[in-house]
Amino acid sequence: MLILIIDEMHPSMVDLLESQGHVVHYQPKITRAEILAKIGDYQGLIIRSKTPMDRELLESGRQLQFIGRAGAGLDQIDLDYLAKRGIKLFHAAKGNRDAVAEHAIGGLLALFNQLVKADAEVRKGIWDREGNRGHELKGKVVGIFGYGNMGSAFAKRLRGFGVKVLAYDKFKRDFASNQVEEVLWERVKAEADILSIHVPLTAETRNFFTFSELSSFRKPIWLINTARGEVISFKTLNQALDAGVLRGAVLDVLENEKFQNFTPRQKSEFEILARRTNVIFTPHVAGWTFESYEKINRVLVKQIKSAFPQ
């Protein structure tokens, strides 16, 4: 097949596809207008998240047989139209699940031990041991919201910390193991000390975590979000932190990740959030390691080969 790659990829992607007999055009700098002009010639499209796969663009792909998403999130793809056209969709959630799991663990440990705050203080000559006293994971109850590739990988990384893991997934059943207890959402809210979010962005999950929802937890919790920022707003985070409903947060994703496009409300709320020492930020890099960058390619090409054997 003739395949167009429209985003930056690890160099191995082209070699892997060509080894399967495909002709690959690697154009990571291509614009949307150029994609619209060219896409009609291609049977395959490899993407990240730069360009939304909306109806207009997909209708121009008259020969498209598949789209390969180098990553996990599918919220920028018109899934209904793909199904209607019979265009196959591959995505590489398994390629970066280990990276996401390790990042979530790292952020949680940094938050519990005040590593960012303590490091900044010591660099300024401040030696405040009591002010940087930490918490131990051992004995805590960790709730996992969404038990797919990311949630299950995170649960595996918790082995050895002496925690109790409760997992809730609306669409998955019978996944309990010796390390993880499958429970209803109300049970998570009744027992969790820590909540880690691992769900895709959908109409149902967008702004799911309102102040009211967080307030319904029996105990104040630490929050980890490596999924999608739109599940909880800056305003809600500030409300919950001010009220003591949240004890702290690890945020790899934000409600709006384009600082230049913040609304006045978002700008004001983010500035408040950014001043908090019990919040740790990273720039949507949880699944973006040197290893996952290459691993994603192998996962995608394996799926393509399975669906279109030579």
Active site members: 228, 257, 284
| Alpha-carbon span 179 to 202, nearest angstrom | 28
Residue 31: closest CA among 54, 11, 5, 51: 51
Query: Which of 99, 149, 139, 142 lies closest to 288, judged by CA?
Result: 99
Q: Hey, is 214 helix, strand or coil?
A: helix
Alpha helices in the chain (DSSP H): 12-18, 32-38, 55-60, 79-85, 93-112, 115-123, 149-157, 185-191, 211-215, 234-243, 264-274, 290-307
Query: Amino acid identity, residue 254?
Result: L
| Cα maximum dimension of the chain | 65
